[in-house]
Structure 1
Amino acid sequence: MRSVTRQGWAALGLAIFIVVADQLSKSWVLPLPERLPHEVFGPLQITRIWNNGVSFGLFQADSDLVRWGFVVFSLLVAVLLGVWAQRTERLFPAVGLGLVIGGAIGNAIDRARFGAVVDFIDVTRLGFFPWIFNIADSGITIGVIVLLLDSLRRETPA
Protein backbone atom coordinates (compact mmCIF):
# COMPACT_ATOMS: atom_id res chain seq x y z
CA MET A 1 0.00 0.00 0.00
CA ARG A 2 1.26 3.45 -0.94
CA SER A 3 1.96 5.97 1.80
CA VAL A 4 0.13 9.27 2.15
CA THR A 5 1.81 12.17 0.34
CA ARG A 6 2.70 15.42 2.07
CA GLN A 7 -0.10 17.11 0.13
CA GLY A 8 -2.46 14.35 1.28
CA TRP A 9 -1.65 15.21 4.89
CA ALA A 10 -2.26 18.88 4.07
CA ALA A 11 -5.69 17.98 2.67
CA LEU A 12 -6.52 15.98 5.79
CA GLY A 13 -5.36 18.83 8.05
CA LEU A 14 -7.45 21.34 6.12
CA ALA A 15 -10.49 19.05 6.28
CA ILE A 16 -10.12 18.76 10.06
CA PHE A 17 -9.75 22.55 10.34
CA ILE A 18 -12.95 23.10 8.31
CA VAL A 19 -14.92 20.60 10.42
CA VAL A 20 -13.73 22.18 13.69
CA ALA A 21 -14.32 25.78 12.50
CA ASP A 22 -17.74 24.82 11.13
CA GLN A 23 -18.89 23.04 14.29
CA LEU A 24 -17.53 25.74 16.62
CA SER A 25 -19.24 28.50 14.65
CA LYS A 26 -22.51 26.58 14.66
CA SER A 27 -22.32 26.01 18.42
CA TRP A 28 -21.87 29.76 18.77
CA VAL A 29 -25.02 30.58 16.74
CA LEU A 30 -27.31 27.79 17.99
CA PRO A 31 -28.50 29.81 21.02
CA LEU A 32 -29.56 32.71 18.76
CA PRO A 33 -33.26 33.03 17.92
CA GLU A 34 -34.19 31.52 14.57
CA ARG A 35 -34.65 33.85 11.58
CA LEU A 36 -33.76 37.01 13.55
CA PRO A 37 -30.97 38.90 11.70
CA HIS A 38 -28.08 40.25 13.78
CA GLU A 39 -26.05 42.92 11.97
CA VAL A 40 -22.29 42.41 11.91
CA PHE A 41 -20.96 44.95 9.38
CA GLY A 42 -21.77 46.04 5.85
CA PRO A 43 -24.00 43.49 4.16
CA LEU A 44 -23.00 40.71 6.61
CA GLN A 45 -25.61 39.53 9.09
CA ILE A 46 -25.90 36.46 11.29
CA THR A 47 -29.31 34.85 10.77
CA ARG A 48 -29.72 31.30 12.11
CA ILE A 49 -31.94 29.03 10.06
CA TRP A 50 -32.40 25.28 9.60
CA ASN A 51 -31.65 23.91 6.13
CA ASN A 52 -33.23 20.55 5.30
CA GLY A 53 -31.59 20.43 1.87
CA VAL A 54 -28.03 20.18 0.68
CA SER A 55 -25.85 23.22 -0.04
CA PHE A 56 -27.88 26.41 -0.43
CA GLY A 57 -31.17 24.58 0.22
CA LEU A 58 -31.18 22.37 -2.86
CA PHE A 59 -32.95 18.97 -2.74
CA GLN A 60 -34.99 19.13 0.46
CA ALA A 61 -34.86 16.16 2.88
CA ASP A 62 -38.48 15.88 3.96
CA SER A 63 -38.21 12.40 5.49
CA ASP A 64 -35.82 10.51 7.76
CA LEU A 65 -34.92 8.17 4.91
CA VAL A 66 -33.75 11.07 2.75
CA ARG A 67 -32.01 12.71 5.73
CA TRP A 68 -29.96 9.60 6.49
CA GLY A 69 -29.38 9.07 2.78
CA PHE A 70 -27.77 12.54 2.70
CA VAL A 71 -25.62 11.64 5.72
CA VAL A 72 -24.42 8.39 4.13
CA PHE A 73 -23.85 10.06 0.76
CA SER A 74 -21.86 12.92 2.35
CA LEU A 75 -19.65 10.54 4.30
CA LEU A 76 -19.14 8.29 1.26
CA VAL A 77 -18.07 11.32 -0.80
CA ALA A 78 -15.70 12.37 2.01
CA VAL A 79 -14.11 8.89 2.11
CA LEU A 80 -13.71 8.65 -1.66
CA LEU A 81 -12.21 12.14 -1.85
CA GLY A 82 -9.97 11.22 1.08
CA VAL A 83 -8.58 8.27 -0.91
CA TRP A 84 -7.91 10.65 -3.80
CA ALA A 85 -6.37 13.24 -1.48
CA GLN A 86 -3.90 10.86 0.12
CA ARG A 87 -2.37 10.19 -3.30
CA THR A 88 -2.37 13.73 -4.68
CA GLU A 89 1.04 15.14 -5.44
CA ARG A 90 0.12 18.80 -5.92
CA LEU A 91 -0.99 21.33 -3.33
CA PHE A 92 -3.79 23.01 -5.34
CA PRO A 93 -5.98 19.89 -5.68
CA ALA A 94 -5.12 18.93 -2.09
CA VAL A 95 -6.57 22.26 -0.92
CA GLY A 96 -9.72 21.73 -2.99
CA LEU A 97 -10.15 18.18 -1.71
CA GLY A 98 -9.57 19.19 1.92
CA LEU A 99 -12.19 21.94 1.67
CA VAL A 100 -14.82 19.64 0.14
CA ILE A 101 -14.10 16.80 2.59
CA GLY A 102 -14.33 19.11 5.60
CA GLY A 103 -17.53 20.71 4.33
CA ALA A 104 -19.19 17.38 3.60
CA ILE A 105 -18.35 16.06 7.07
CA GLY A 106 -19.39 19.29 8.81
CA ASN A 107 -22.85 19.26 7.25
CA ALA A 108 -23.21 15.49 7.75
CA ILE A 109 -22.60 15.97 11.49
CA ASP A 110 -25.43 18.53 11.65
CA ARG A 111 -27.81 16.36 9.69
CA ALA A 112 -27.07 13.36 11.94
CA ARG A 113 -27.38 15.42 15.16
CA PHE A 114 -30.28 17.72 14.34
CA GLY A 115 -31.98 16.37 11.23
CA ALA A 116 -31.05 19.57 9.38
CA VAL A 117 -28.03 21.78 8.77
CA VAL A 118 -27.43 24.99 10.75
CA ASP A 119 -26.96 27.92 8.37
CA PHE A 120 -26.20 31.45 9.57
CA ILE A 121 -23.94 33.50 7.26
CA ASP A 122 -26.36 35.97 5.72
CA VAL A 123 -25.33 38.36 2.94
CA THR A 124 -28.78 38.60 1.38
CA ARG A 125 -28.68 42.40 1.71
CA LEU A 126 -26.29 42.38 -1.26
CA GLY A 127 -29.38 41.70 -3.33
CA PHE A 128 -27.93 39.14 -5.73
CA PHE A 129 -27.19 36.27 -3.31
CA PRO A 130 -30.43 35.05 -1.68
CA TRP A 131 -28.99 32.16 0.36
CA ILE A 132 -27.94 31.86 3.98
CA PHE A 133 -25.05 29.43 4.36
CA ASN A 134 -22.33 28.17 6.73
CA ILE A 135 -18.60 27.45 6.79
CA ALA A 136 -19.11 23.88 5.53
CA ASP A 137 -21.07 25.16 2.52
CA SER A 138 -18.29 27.66 1.83
CA GLY A 139 -15.69 24.89 2.02
CA ILE A 140 -17.61 22.74 -0.45
CA THR A 141 -18.19 25.61 -2.88
CA ILE A 142 -14.64 26.99 -2.78
CA GLY A 143 -13.19 23.47 -2.89
CA VAL A 144 -15.17 22.57 -6.02
CA ILE A 145 -14.07 25.83 -7.67
CA VAL A 146 -10.42 25.07 -6.82
CA LEU A 147 -10.76 21.55 -8.26
CA LEU A 148 -12.41 22.88 -11.43
CA LEU A 149 -9.67 25.48 -11.87
CA ASP A 150 -7.04 22.79 -11.35
CA SER A 151 -8.70 20.64 -14.01
CA LEU A 152 -8.08 23.46 -16.53
CA ARG A 153 -4.35 23.36 -15.82
CA ARG A 154 -2.23 22.06 -18.65
CA GLU A 155 -0.11 19.05 -17.89
CA THR A 156 3.57 19.62 -18.57
CA PRO A 157 5.43 16.79 -20.28
CA ALA A 158 7.67 14.75 -18.00
Structure 2
Amino acid sequence: MRALEVLCERHAPRVGRLAHHVLGDPEDARDAAQEALAKLCVKLGQFRGEAAFSTWLHRLTLNACRDVALRRSARSHAPLEDDFRAAEGPTPDREAELSELRADLRDGLATLPVAQAHVLVLKDALGFSFEEISASSGMPVGTAKCYAHRARTTMRDLLEEGAAA
Protein backbone atom coordinates (compact mmCIF):
# COMPACT_ATOMS: atom_id res chain seq x y z
CA MET A 1 0.00 0.00 0.00
CA ARG A 2 2.80 2.42 0.91
CA ALA A 3 4.57 1.74 -2.40
CA LEU A 4 1.35 2.48 -4.31
CA GLU A 5 0.90 5.70 -2.33
CA VAL A 6 4.46 6.81 -3.14
CA LEU A 7 3.96 5.92 -6.81
CA CYS A 8 0.80 8.06 -7.00
CA GLU A 9 2.45 10.97 -5.16
CA ARG A 10 5.46 10.86 -7.45
CA HIS A 11 3.47 10.83 -10.70
CA ALA A 12 0.45 12.97 -9.72
CA PRO A 13 2.00 16.31 -10.83
CA ARG A 14 2.94 14.94 -14.26
CA VAL A 15 -0.52 13.37 -14.69
CA GLY A 16 -2.16 16.67 -13.70
CA ARG A 17 -0.04 18.69 -16.14
CA LEU A 18 -0.78 16.31 -19.00
CA ALA A 19 -4.52 16.37 -18.27
CA HIS A 20 -4.51 20.16 -18.12
CA HIS A 21 -2.56 20.36 -21.38
CA VAL A 22 -4.98 18.01 -23.14
CA LEU A 23 -8.26 19.37 -21.75
CA GLY A 24 -7.48 23.01 -21.03
CA ASP A 25 -10.22 23.34 -18.40
CA PRO A 26 -8.77 23.10 -14.86
CA GLU A 27 -11.80 21.30 -13.40
CA ASP A 28 -11.95 18.74 -16.18
CA ALA A 29 -8.19 18.27 -15.90
CA ARG A 30 -8.48 17.58 -12.15
CA ASP A 31 -11.25 15.05 -12.83
CA ALA A 32 -9.21 13.30 -15.51
CA ALA A 33 -6.06 13.24 -13.37
CA GLN A 34 -8.02 11.79 -10.47
CA GLU A 35 -9.51 9.11 -12.74
CA ALA A 36 -6.10 8.28 -14.20
CA LEU A 37 -4.58 7.82 -10.73
CA ALA A 38 -7.58 5.73 -9.64
CA LYS A 39 -7.12 3.54 -12.73
CA LEU A 40 -3.43 3.26 -11.87
CA CYS A 41 -4.35 1.82 -8.48
CA VAL A 42 -6.87 -0.62 -9.97
CA LYS A 43 -4.96 -1.68 -13.09
CA LEU A 44 -1.41 -1.74 -11.76
CA GLY A 45 -1.49 -5.54 -11.90
CA GLN A 46 -2.10 -5.33 -15.66
CA PHE A 47 1.18 -3.47 -16.24
CA ARG A 48 3.33 -6.02 -18.10
CA GLY A 49 6.58 -4.07 -18.23
CA GLU A 50 6.79 -4.23 -22.04
CA ALA A 51 7.01 -0.45 -22.14
CA ALA A 52 8.23 2.12 -19.64
CA PHE A 53 5.92 2.70 -16.70
CA SER A 54 5.65 6.39 -17.63
CA THR A 55 4.45 5.42 -21.13
CA TRP A 56 1.77 3.17 -19.67
CA LEU A 57 0.66 5.88 -17.21
CA HIS A 58 0.66 8.41 -20.07
CA ARG A 59 -1.78 6.18 -21.98
CA LEU A 60 -3.99 5.78 -18.87
CA THR A 61 -4.07 9.55 -18.49
CA LEU A 62 -4.94 10.17 -22.14
CA ASN A 63 -7.75 7.61 -21.92
CA ALA A 64 -9.09 9.32 -18.80
CA CYS A 65 -8.91 12.68 -20.61
CA ARG A 66 -10.84 11.22 -23.53
CA ASP A 67 -13.53 9.89 -21.16
CA VAL A 68 -13.87 13.27 -19.42
CA ALA A 69 -14.01 15.09 -22.77
CA LEU A 70 -16.74 12.74 -23.99
CA ARG A 71 -18.78 13.32 -20.82
CA ARG A 72 -18.29 17.07 -21.20
CA SER A 73 -19.52 17.05 -24.80
CA ALA A 74 -22.48 14.83 -23.86
CA ARG A 75 -23.79 17.42 -21.41
CA SER A 76 -26.81 18.88 -23.08
CA HIS A 77 -27.49 22.57 -23.02
CA ALA A 78 -30.83 23.96 -24.02
CA PRO A 79 -30.55 26.66 -26.66
CA LEU A 80 -31.08 30.16 -25.37
CA GLU A 81 -34.28 31.89 -26.30
CA ASP A 82 -34.09 35.08 -28.33
CA ASP A 83 -34.23 38.18 -26.20
CA PHE A 84 -35.79 41.17 -27.91
CA ARG A 85 -35.70 43.56 -24.97
CA ALA A 86 -33.99 46.88 -25.46
CA ALA A 87 -30.44 46.87 -24.22
CA GLU A 88 -29.88 48.64 -20.95
CA GLY A 89 -27.00 50.95 -20.36
CA PRO A 90 -25.31 53.58 -22.44
CA THR A 91 -26.47 54.14 -25.99
CA PRO A 92 -24.20 55.46 -28.74
CA ASP A 93 -25.93 58.84 -28.54
CA ARG A 94 -25.43 59.03 -24.79
CA GLU A 95 -21.79 57.95 -25.12
CA ALA A 96 -21.23 60.74 -27.66
CA GLU A 97 -22.80 63.29 -25.30
CA LEU A 98 -20.63 62.09 -22.42
CA SER A 99 -17.53 62.23 -24.60
CA GLU A 100 -18.30 65.84 -25.53
CA LEU A 101 -18.96 66.70 -21.90
CA ARG A 102 -15.65 65.16 -20.82
CA ALA A 103 -13.83 67.16 -23.49
CA ASP A 104 -15.58 70.36 -22.36
CA LEU A 105 -14.68 69.64 -18.72
CA ARG A 106 -11.07 68.93 -19.64
CA ASP A 107 -10.83 72.14 -21.68
CA GLY A 108 -12.53 74.12 -18.90
CA LEU A 109 -10.19 72.77 -16.24
CA ALA A 110 -7.24 73.77 -18.42
CA THR A 111 -8.41 77.40 -18.39
CA LEU A 112 -8.66 77.57 -14.58
CA PRO A 113 -5.76 78.62 -12.38
CA VAL A 114 -3.93 75.47 -11.25
CA ALA A 115 -4.88 75.81 -7.57
CA GLN A 116 -8.57 76.27 -8.39
CA ALA A 117 -8.58 73.31 -10.76
CA HIS A 118 -6.82 71.21 -8.13
CA VAL A 119 -9.39 72.08 -5.44
CA LEU A 120 -12.30 71.53 -7.84
CA VAL A 121 -11.10 68.05 -8.84
CA LEU A 122 -10.36 67.01 -5.25
CA LYS A 123 -13.72 68.29 -3.97
CA ASP A 124 -16.19 67.52 -6.75
CA ALA A 125 -14.61 64.65 -8.63
CA LEU A 126 -12.89 62.77 -5.81
CA GLY A 127 -15.17 63.72 -2.92
CA PHE A 128 -12.53 65.13 -0.56
CA SER A 129 -13.73 67.31 2.30
CA PHE A 130 -12.41 70.85 2.54
CA GLU A 131 -10.47 69.79 5.64
CA GLU A 132 -8.77 67.00 3.66
CA ILE A 133 -7.99 69.40 0.82
CA SER A 134 -6.53 71.85 3.32
CA ALA A 135 -4.40 69.14 4.94
CA SER A 136 -3.08 67.81 1.64
CA SER A 137 -2.38 71.16 -0.01
CA GLY A 138 -1.43 73.27 3.00
CA MET A 139 -3.95 76.00 2.16
CA PRO A 140 -6.48 77.23 4.73
CA VAL A 141 -9.98 75.71 4.62
CA GLY A 142 -11.47 79.10 3.74
CA THR A 143 -9.16 79.46 0.77
CA ALA A 144 -10.12 75.98 -0.45
CA LYS A 145 -13.81 76.90 -0.20
CA CYS A 146 -13.20 80.16 -2.08
CA TYR A 147 -11.23 78.39 -4.83
CA ALA A 148 -13.96 75.76 -5.18
CA HIS A 149 -16.65 78.45 -5.49
CA ARG A 150 -14.67 80.43 -8.10
CA ALA A 151 -13.81 77.29 -10.07
CA ARG A 152 -17.43 76.10 -10.10
CA THR A 153 -18.66 79.49 -11.26
CA THR A 154 -16.10 79.64 -14.06
CA MET A 155 -16.81 76.05 -15.13
CA ARG A 156 -20.59 76.64 -15.09
CA ASP A 157 -20.15 79.70 -17.33
CA LEU A 158 -17.85 77.81 -19.71
CA LEU A 159 -20.18 74.83 -19.95
CA GLU A 160 -23.22 77.05 -20.52
CA GLU A 161 -21.34 78.84 -23.32
CA GLY A 162 -20.45 75.49 -24.85
CA ALA A 163 -24.05 74.28 -24.63
CA ALA A 164 -25.32 77.46 -26.28
CA ALA A 165 -22.84 77.15 -29.15
| Bigger radius of gyration | 2
TM-score category of the 2 structures, normalised to the smaller one: under 0.3
TM-score by length of 1: 0.23
User: TM-score, structure 2 length as denominator?
Assistant: 0.22
